[in-house]
């Protein structure tokens, strides 16, 4: 690690801290990011193109949370250029009200527990049963949810793991979510399943083996895609898949080409012709099954229905990662032989059509009551404004998906936020940036705190000495 | 350079902020008298940070002569802990809260507090009480006018200030906020397992260049500890707290480490009624 050792003096306040690279000053609000003083809490601004004085609707989005938003945060933000170096929460939460208390004493800040992380793991490997507990360092932090096409979904965090269980459970849940949201690798285990290493934007590592490719489709879909390429080169093709195993001679895609019956018998639940469920158990073998020898799914070859000595068979997985070529001997037993070059290209084609396996991490949170109250005096109007699209919601400048329905529940791809954008508090809870952007007129119509709107000049005087923390953008044409 | 800022929160409380100082102030009484109190607090706050900064190098050293009233209060709060290492900065948050509270309180104000990032100074007229939530511990402390305590402070390695110990949180009630602040720091330092492999430590100046702790090792990470480890670490903190209580430096303390909590003295620590 070769860091410039040069300390610089922060002139944001009279304390004039000397701050070394990567450190924050005494306030935790300003930091030295590679030789520049930047704000650790984003104050991002939007200028109004109509007014030459460039009035802005300010909104400091530094700490949002379900229970308690610093009520002085009334800045509208967009397009944060912030780098959020070594984000360490500052003690703003003291302004929060807790039921039954007049005040709060804290080690740090925010109580922001209503959030979770959705993880999409591109793999056909079996990670564990649906509903199985996912653990970090032995503590339950979430569960396995649905399997989607070529991917397994995990649902991690949430208020019940964060604050509903033991302190250790909450702490480890928070730590795992924070690491995932900040793009770090996290080791997880699935009860009755695999050990995983998950990192946003990287290939998942399942039981010590990095996943390479997503499957091109299920076994049936693979038959549909490649039947024509195999026709005339091989007598039978069986695409082995944990979900649906395909058999080309029986499949509609083979039939239309005039594929001849081969007397093949598949041990599994036949769905429609040429499509079989449950040929094996889920596992780490061929096509996400437990199979190490794919011939285990074959019954006896029936000579009355077309089986004959010398019949050629290609068995391949849905990623092309596993393949084998067989020829029936005199006893109609499939004997392995090397794959002919004529078939090699089709296997390579399957592989080529499989996208790289990645982990995708979405942060999901709900912006609740008092957060909105910090923005306007009539919180539900803000909710409706966000839901209608009049107010744009961003997280660290990144676009969010807003769930329809009540409240402001959003999801954001953590890789679209500035590095290190997420923080935590020992409550335990996560801290994520959030900005609401809307036109000044709309803001006032919502019941926005007019007195808290500052001019660009004022903001530039107070925060603009640290321009890396803000990026000015024009209002879209036609806005008030 | 930014100046001192005063804002009213939507619920009426006064928010004062300048550099690292972040105060939430609230007073109860007749509206015009409360407003007059807030106005006095704002006037006192203007220039307060500059006053401290003037003596900052001295405040960051143990045992040097101090001049300003806030600095002297800080010095008085930490002096009883010598010869152990402590600088007046260990009491800065509490001392600032006390100073602003003292000017805010006036005729007609029945009760009031100034909360400086969790270090709190209280004013209670006879018969009054205030309830404080301990974040993270999910507990409440109610201080009554007949109690000796007028200061509450919380410290721990996860907090803003660096700690030499491993306590998640130490909350202290003391006669004044500055005393509570200093004692919370010292008790949190005492909760420790020297040389334990699960504890990550780094020199303070590597974490914050001009920290008053210099090259002393501060805690930057604590892994899972065994029940025996937790008990051993907590008992060191409890021993310190008992000694400070016997010396009249604190009224009571609650010490939190991983899943365990120890309470020293009478502390009306209530679990909340609501989940």
Q: State both tokens at B230.
A: 């937790």
Smallest CA–CA distance, residue B20 to chain A, in Å, is 4
B190 phi, psi to nearest 5 deg: -75, -30
The reply to whether A426 touches chain B by the CB within 8 Å rule is: yes
Q: Any chain A CB within 8 A of the CB of B69?
A: no
Q: List, as ranges, residues 7-36 from B with C-beta within 8 Å of A.
A: 7, 9-11, 13, 15, 17-20, 22, 24, 26
**Which one has a higher pLDDT value, A133 or B12?**
A133
Tell me the DSSP string of A156-212.
Answer: EE-HHHHHSS-HHHHHHHHHHHHHHHTT--EEEEETTS-EEEE-BTS--EETTEE--
Helix (H, G, I), strand (E, B) or coil at B95: helix
Tokens linked to A154:
């995990």
Helices (H) and strands (E) in chain A, counts: 9, 28
E strands of A14-149, at which residues? 18-19, 30-33, 36-39, 103-105, 115-122, 133-136, 139-148
Asked whether residue B235 carries a pLDDT value surpassing 60, the answer given is: yes
Q: Are B156 and B168 in contact (CB under 8 A)?
A: yes
Nearest CA in chain A to B50: A14
Give the pLDDT confidence score for residue A360 in this predicted structure. Answer: 96
B158/A contact by beta carbon, under 8 A: yes
- Is the Cβ pair B15, A95 closer than 8 Å? yes
Residues 93-122 of A with CB under 8 A from B: 93-95, 97-108, 111
Interchain contact B185–A (C-beta under 8 A): no
Any CB–CB contact under 8 A between B174 and chain A?
no
Residue A282's pLDDT is 82
Cβ distance B209 to A18 less than 8 Å, yes or no, reads: yes
B119/B160 Cα distance (integer angstroms): 12
Whether A433 contacts A61, CB under 8 Å: yes
Please tell me the number of Cα atoms within 13 Å of B97 on its side-chain side: 33
pLDDT number for residue A149 = 80
Chain A residues 348-377 with CB within 8 Å of chain B = 373-374, 377
Angle at B246 between CA B240 and CA B252, to 5 degrees: 70
* Cβ atoms of residues B120 and B151 within 8 Å: yes
* pLDDT by residue, tens only, chain A of 480 residues: 344 458 888 887 888 888 888 788 887 777 787 787 776 654 333 222 222 222 222 223 233 222 222 222 222 222 222 222 222 222 233 344 555 556 554 332 223 567 899 999 998 778 999 999 999 999 999 999 999 888 999 999 998 898 888 888 988 999 999 999 989 999 999 999 999 999 999 999 999 888 877 877 888 999 999 999 999 999 999 999 988 999 999 999 999 999 999 999 999 898 889 999 999 988 888 988 899 999 999 999 999 999 999 999 999 998 888 999 999 999 999 999 999 999 998 898 888 888 889 999 999 987 654 454 445 556 677 777 777 777 777 776 678 898 888 778 889 999 887 666 777 666 677 777 776 666 666 666 766 555 545 444 444 444 332 322 332 322 223 232
Q: Check CB contact of B202 with chain A, cutoff 8 Å.
A: no
Rounded-to-integer distance, Cα B182 and Cα A244, Å: 67
Best of A106, A424, A448 to disrupt the B interface by mutation (most B CBs within 10 Å)? A106
Count CA within 13 A, CB hemisphere, residue B182.
Answer: 29
The segment with the largest mean pLDDT, out of A17-26, A206-215, B109-118, B157-166, is B109-118
């Amino acid at each position: 690690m070769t860091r410039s050792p040069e300390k610089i003096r922060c002139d944001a306040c009279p304390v004039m801290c000397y701050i070394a690279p990567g450190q924050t000053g005494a306030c935790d609000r300003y930091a030295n990011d590679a030789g520049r003083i930047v704000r650790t809490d984003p104050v991002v601004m939007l200028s109004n193109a109509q007014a030459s004085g460039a009035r802005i609707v300010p909104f400091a989005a530094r700490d949002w949370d379900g229970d308690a938003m610093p009520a002085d945060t009334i800045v509208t933000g967009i397009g944060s250029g912030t780098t959020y170096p070594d984000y360490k929460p500052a003690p703003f939460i003291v302004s929060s009200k807790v039921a039954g208390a007049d005040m709060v004493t804290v080690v740090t800040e925010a109580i922001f527990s209503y959030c979770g992380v959705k993880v999409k793991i591109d793999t056909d490997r079996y990670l564990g049963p649906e509903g199985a507990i996912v653990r970090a360092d032995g503590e339950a932090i979430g569960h396995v949810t649905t399997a989607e096409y070529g991917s397994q979904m995990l649902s991690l965090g949430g208020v019940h793991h964060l604050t509903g269980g033991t302190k250790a459970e909450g702490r480890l849940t928070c730590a795992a979510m924070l690491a995932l949201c900040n793009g770090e690798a996290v080791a997880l285990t699935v009860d009755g399943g695999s050990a995983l290493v998950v990192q946003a934007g990287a290939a998942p590592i399942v039981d010590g083996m990095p996943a390479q490719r997503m499957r091109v489709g299920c076994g049936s879909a693979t038959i549909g895609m490649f039947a024509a390429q195999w026709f005339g080169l091989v007598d039978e093709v069986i695409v082995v898949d944990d979900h649906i195993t395909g058999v080309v001679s029986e499949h509609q895609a083979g039939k239309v080409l005039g594929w001849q019956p081969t007397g093949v018998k598949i041990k599994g639940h036949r769905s429609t012709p040429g499509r079989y469920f449950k040929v094996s158990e889920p596992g780490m073998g061929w096509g996400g099954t437990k199979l190490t020898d794919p011939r285990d799914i074959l019954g006896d070859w029936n000579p009355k229905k077309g089986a004959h000595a010398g019949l050629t068979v290609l068995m391949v997985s849905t990623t092309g990662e596993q393949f084998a070529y067989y020829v029936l001997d005199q006893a109609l037993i499939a004997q392995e032989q090397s794959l002919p070059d004529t078939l090699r290209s089709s296997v390579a084609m399957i592989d080529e059509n499989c996208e790289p396996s990645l982990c995708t991490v979405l942060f999901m949170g709900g912006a609740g009551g008092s957060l909105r109250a910090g923005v306007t005096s009539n919180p539900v109007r803000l909710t409706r404004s966000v839901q209608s699209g009049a107010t744009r919601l961003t997280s660290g400048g990144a676009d969010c998906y807003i769930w329809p329905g009540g409240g402001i529940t959003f999801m954001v791809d953590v890789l679209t936020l500035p590095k290190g954008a997420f923080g935590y508090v020992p409550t335990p809870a996560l801290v994520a940036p959030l900005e609401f952007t809307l036109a000044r007129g709309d803001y006032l119509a919502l019941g926005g705190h007019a007195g808290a709107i500052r001019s660009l000049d004022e903001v530039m005087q107070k925060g603009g000495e640290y321009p890396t923390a803000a990026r000015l953008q024009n209002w879209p044409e036609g806005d008030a | 350079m930014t100046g001192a800022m005063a804002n009213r929160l939507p619920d009426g409380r006064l928010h004062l902020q300048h550099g690292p100082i972040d105060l939430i102030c609230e007073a109860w009484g007749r509206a015009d008298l409360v407003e007059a109190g807030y106005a006095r607090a704002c006037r006192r706050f203007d220039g307060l940070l500059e006053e401290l900064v003037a003596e900052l190098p001295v405040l960051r050293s143990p045992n040097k002569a101090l001049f300003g009233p806030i600095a002297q209060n800080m010095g008085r709060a930490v002096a009883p802990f010598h010869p152990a290492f402590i600088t007046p900065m260990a009491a800065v948050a509490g001392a600032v809260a006390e100073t602003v509270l003292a000017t805010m309180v006036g005729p007609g104000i029945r009760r009031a507090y100034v909360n400086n990032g969790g270090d709190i100074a209280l004013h209670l007229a006879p018969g009054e009480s205030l309830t404080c939530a301990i974040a993270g511990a999910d507990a409440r402390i109610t201080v009554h006018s007949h109690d000796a305590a007028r200061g509450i402070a919380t410290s721990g390695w996860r907090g803003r200030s660096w700690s030499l110990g491993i306590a998640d949180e130490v909350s202290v009630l003391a006669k004044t906020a500055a005393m509570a602040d200093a004692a919370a720091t010292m008790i949190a330092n005492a909760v420790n397992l020297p040389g334990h492999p699960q504890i990550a430590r780094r020199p303070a100046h590597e974490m914050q260049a001009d920290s008053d702790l210099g090259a002393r090792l501060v805690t930057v990470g604590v892994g899972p500890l065994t029940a025996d480890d937790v008990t051993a670490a907590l008992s060191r903190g409890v021993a310190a707290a008992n000694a400070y209580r016997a010396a009249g430096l604190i009224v009571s303390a609650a010490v939190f480490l991983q899943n365990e909590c120890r309470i020293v003295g009478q502390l009306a620590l209530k679990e909340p009624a609501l989940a």
